[in-house]
A and B are shown apart, each in its own frame.
Chain A
């Protein structure tokens, strides 16, 4: 059984599978879904910005930056 974590808590280099995200008509989270962050997708934290926020993730072969406040809405099943 794997532990459930928040994307914002992952260390640089760590990854997992998106298990659950905040649902509903939220313009920010909806856009994250449209960028490919849907449940079941593999995701990996590439690095944190020099000042700790935002973070850069790798998903479906593309690199995205998001703030930790957004990453906190995303639950990950750790690998």
Chain B
């Protein structure tokens, strides 16, 4: 057979490449994970934050196969970069990825018509293929009967029924992968004759202008001109203009041709399924319906969401705290050991004050990241995540975001780092960017020590003010949240390209989570975080250490040393800028230190005021702060200044880990730098208004 995937003798030895394609929620990743086990790697496609998942597996005959798990998509008419990746890999248009030798198309058997829409698009490309019908149990529960034999006959390719979460059908799939695969039967393309003719003309024009290759099929120009992605990812800038012109040309000749294509394809799918699929006249009431009648109930739905989110918050805020403390203690122990083993000197200081806290500052986030992603993995895998988005969409929609932004934003109250990593579940690139930009405004747990210190400085004394203290704390959370919503609203109107976010969302059937899959997902996130964020944070932590240690000043007083260092001089240098906010240069040193991580502020202030153990016990530090005076004798830490300080921390971007993660997730320095600028700018303005306004009305 000429179309077989077997290697021919005249070609250099190379493992065959199989691409796995399918709709979102069809169980694609579960099958990929089952096939590859841990033999997989995750990276980004160059220049874009679309995950490239690759792995190797062995077919039933022990032959090695390279697998590429393509992003889930509904159509080859791309609407976003990940869908463009699917189109380009399958058409062999990507330089970084070989054109697949075969396609494994995964379809949700309980959703056959919609899944076969993309399937027929893919099969028409003419690659040797096989079709997996996954989730046959769900189809059976709906009383659907699928004639697998007949479907296989009509398509001309093997069809393998599967129930991937229970491990059923894997051997059959591997066996099918062992046999030489055929191209799907070339039937007539479901393209109306007039459109077909016009497309041939379009193709000829595009070949002439070198926009597509001479040997391009009719389908390549079709999927290029119907690209809906506002950024046209994967298409060279020089070609975009010609493709849009070709599209508009066709639209003028044959209005609504794209609509007719979609309708014609569904008609073809209906014909294909005639006497293949038998289903009851009325939808059976399924498990999913029963669960949804509670989880999406006007009252109980909200209550359930509240409880589940509360549990999530408890996990990352409270349960993760124990392991985080162990990690902190461990790194402190490391630093102490090094101190006893090495003689004093710059190298020792670099290790104990730069490298170890730098690495520790990254690793300490691990428990939160693991917990959050375990939880998110569960919610995604069971199908509940789509319900969260469904319930929250109205609220998030008010500021131009969609329901998918809710969980990343919510988890940022514990820590923005996992929150930003969680934005990958947002399909729309525009909504994802805006969510990333405003997420650090949620008051994270690192702000707590600063708020506590400042509130204690503001309201010294006894239990009577406990209520007021809690009130101020709550107000800070509220201001941060309001700020995030306001900025989301502004960015939605100004920044990002792309049309108002559509929330067409599939409500998948509920599934029992595959714990192996969830665990894999969790560790994968952790690995990405450690590897990528780790390097950036370590470098910046060493820089900051150097700034606080050099130039050397002789003398045994830490406070004097710090004030003569680069950071100390910088504190003096920025004093004119922060004076209108009520901060002096010593506070400035603390602020500079806090740009590494907010909670560093407390420790740095402890060094500045030469207080021992400022980290664990803030009482001596508070005493010292009370006595701190401006040169003219006024107190520095007035209640108004403390409030101004808290407002500054609500808005300012002071977290290297977040910067590093935003850089990774947005693929460059542009957005993290913008974020630092807008947040710190907003912080300055807000503090200025509070401090100067407060002074005006007599505080």
Within the complex, the shortest CB–CB distance from A59 to chain B, in Å, comes to 8
A64 touches B255 (CB 8 A): no
Rounded to whole Å, the gap between the CB of B522 and the closest CB of chain A is 27
A27 closest partner in B (C-beta) = B228
Contacts of B75 in A (CB 8 A): 31, 34
Query: In whole angstroms, what is the CA distance A27 to B229 when docked?
Result: 8
Q: Is B203 an interface residue (CB 8 A)?
A: no
Interface size classification for chain A:
35 or more
Please tell me if the beta carbons of B112 and A23 are within 8 angstroms of each other in the complex.
no
User: Is there contact, CB below 8 Å, between A23 and B255?
Assistant: yes
Tell whether, in the assembled complex, residue B259 and residue A53 are in contact, meaning their CB atoms are under 8 Å apart. no
A63 with B297, Cβ < 8 A, contacts A24-B256, A36-B266 known: no
Contacts known (A49-B394, A58-B283, A60-B113); A65 close to B503, Cβ less than 8 A: yes
The interface size bin for chain B is 35 or more
B394 near A25 with CB under 8 A, answer no
Q: Known: A24-B255, A25-B247, A65-B390. Is A51-B395 also a contact (CB below 8 A)?
A: yes
Residue pair B504, A21 in contact (C-beta under 8 Å) = no
Nearest residue, chain B, Cβ from A28: B502
B633 at the interface (CB under 8 A from A): no
A41-B463 Cα distance, complex, nearest whole Å: 67
* Alpha-carbon separation in the docked complex, A27 to B502 (Å): 9
Known: A65-B390, A67-B502. A25 touches B262 (CB 8 A): no
B114 on the interface (CB 8 Å rule)? yes
CB contact list, A11-66 vs B, under 8 A: 21, 23-25, 27-28, 30-36, 38-41, 47, 49-54, 56, 58, 60-66
Would you call A35 and B504 a contact (CB within 8 A)? yes
B104 within 8 A of A: no
Write out the residue numbers on chain B whose beta carbons fall within 8 Å of the beta carbon of A67.
393, 397, 502-503
Complex: A35 Cα to B504 Cα, angstroms = 9
**Given known A25-B251, A52-B394, contact A64–B117 (CB-CB < 8 A):** no
Report how far A47 CA is from B117 CA in the complex, Å.
26
User: Of the candidates B110, B113, B283, B386, which one forms a contact with A65 in the assembled complex, judged by CB atoms under 8 Å apart?
Assistant: B386
B77: CB under 8 A from chain A?
Answer: yes
Q: Return the CB mask of B474-516 against A: 1 if under 8 Å, else 0.
A: 0000000000000000000000000100111111100000000
Complex Cα spacing A28 to B255, Å: 17
Q: How far is the CB of A48 from chain B (nearest CB, A)?
A: 8
B450 contacts A by Cβ under 8 Å? no
CA distance A56 to B503 in the complex (A): 11
Other-chain residue from B258, B266, B506 in contact with A62 (beta carbon distance below 8 A):
B506
Please measure, in the bound complex, the distance between the C-alpha atom of A26 and the C-alpha atom of B390, giving whole angstroms: 23
Contact B499 A38 (CB under 8 A): no
In chain B, what residue has the closest Cβ to A68?
B394
Q: Which of B111, B266, B297, B391 contacts A38 (CB 8 A)?
A: B266
Instruction: List CB contacts (< 8 Å) of B357-400 with chain A.
Output: 386, 389-391, 393-395, 397
Per the bound structure, the CA–CA distance linking A67 and B75 in Å amounts to 21
Indicate if the CB atoms of A23 and B259 lie closer than 8 Å.
yes
Within 8 Å by CB of A28, from B74, B110, B302, B499, lies: B499
Would B263 and A38 count as touching, CB distance under 8 A?
yes
The interface residues of chain A lying within 8 Å CB-to-CB of B394 are 49, 51-54
Q: Does A4 touch B at the CB level, under 8 Å?
A: no
Query: Which residues of B have CB within 8 Å of A34?
Result: 74-75, 77, 117, 262
> What A residues does B547 contact at CB under 8 A?
none
CA A21 – CA B75 in complex, angstroms?
19
Bound CA span A65–B508, Å: 10
A28 to B507, CA, bound (A): 17
When A36-B114, A61-B113 are in contact, do A28 and B504 touch as well, CB less than 8 Å? yes
Contacts of A30 in B (CB 8 A): 77, 228, 258-259, 262
Contact B114 A49 (CB under 8 A): no
Q: Are A33 and B506 in contact, CB atoms less than 8 angstroms apart?
A: no
Most chain A CB within 10 A, of B266, B301, B389, is at B266
Query: Which of B79, B255, B266, B390 makes the CB contact (< 8 A) with A31?
Result: B79
Q: For residue B258, which residues in chain A have a CB less than 8 angstroms away from its CB?
A: 24-25, 30, 33
Smallest CB separation, B117 vs chain A (Å): 6
B114's partner among A27, A40, A56, A62 (CB-CB below 8 A) is A62
Q: Which residues of A contact B251 (CB under 8 A)?
A: 24-25
A56 to B111, CA, bound (A): 16
User: In the bound complex, what is the Cα–Cα distance between A38 and B288 (angstroms)?
Assistant: 25
Residues of A within 8 A of B458 (CB): none
The reply to whether B79 and A27 form a contact with Cβ atoms under 8 Å apart is yes
Closest beta carbon of chain B to A77's beta carbon, Å: 16
Determine the residue in chain B with the shortest Cβ distance to A52.
B394
- Chain B residues lying within 8 Å of A41, measured Cβ to Cβ, are 266
Task: From B142, B301, B503, give the contact of A61 (CB < 8 A).
Answer: B142
In the assembled complex, B298 has its CB within 8 A of some CB on chain A: yes
Tell me whether B296 is interfacial, beta carbon within 8 Å: yes
A62 CB contacts on chain B under 8 angstroms: 111, 113-114, 506
Residue of A nearest to B279 (CB): A61
Taking a contact as CB atoms under 8 Å apart, the answer to whether A32 and B263 are in contact is no
Q: Mark B73-97, 1 if CB is under 8 A from A, else 0.
A: 0110101000000000000000000
Contact in complex: A36, B113 (CB < 8 Å): yes
CB distance from B250 to the nearest CB of A (A): 10
- B139, closest chain A residue (CB): A61
Task: Please indicate the chain A residues that have their CB under 8 angstroms from the CB of B389 in the complex.
Answer: 65
Contact of B506 among A28, A64, A70 (CB under 8 A): A64
Give the Cβ gap from A12 to chain B, nearest Cβ, in Å.
10
Please, how many angstroms separate the alpha-carbon atoms of A61 and B280 in the complex? 11
Q: Please give, as numbers and ranges, the residues of chain A lying within 8 Å of B506 by CB-CB distance.
A: 35, 62-65
State whether B297 touches A50 (Cβ < 8 A): yes
Q: Name which residue of chain A comes closest to B508, CB basis.
A: A63
When distances are taken between beta carbons in the complex, the residues of chain A under 8 Å from B499 are: 27-28
Q: How far is the CA of A40 from the CA of B552 in the complex (A)?
A: 80
| Chain A neighbourhood of B386, CB < 8 A | 65
The CA-CA distance from A30 to B229 in the complex, in Å, is 12
Min CB–CB distance A66 → chain B (angstroms): 5
List 7 tightest A-B contacts by C-beta distance, closest first. A33-B262, A28-B502, A63-B507, A51-B394, A27-B228, A23-B256, A65-B505
Provide a sorted-by-A list of 22 A–B residue pairs whose CB atoms are within 8 angstroms: A24-B251, A24-B258, A25-B228, A25-B251, A27-B228, A31-B75, A32-B504, A34-B74, A36-B266, A38-B266, A49-B296, A49-B390, A50-B296, A50-B391, A51-B395, A54-B390, A58-B283, A61-B142, A62-B111, A63-B508, A65-B389, A67-B502
A interface residues, Cβ below 8 angstroms from B? 21, 23-25, 27-28, 30-36, 38-41, 47, 49-54, 56, 58, 60-67, 70
Sample of 18 more A-B contacts, CB < 8 Å, known A47-B292, A56-B296, A61-B110: A24-B256, A25-B251, A28-B499, A30-B228, A30-B258, A33-B263, A38-B262, A49-B390, A49-B394, A51-B395, A52-B394, A53-B397, A56-B507, A60-B114, A64-B505, A64-B507, A65-B507, A67-B393
| B interface residues (Cβ-Cβ under 8 A, vs A) | 74-75, 77, 79, 110-114, 117, 142, 144, 228, 247, 251, 255-256, 258-259, 262-263, 266, 279, 283, 288, 292, 296-299, 301-302, 386, 389-391, 393-395, 397, 499, 502-508
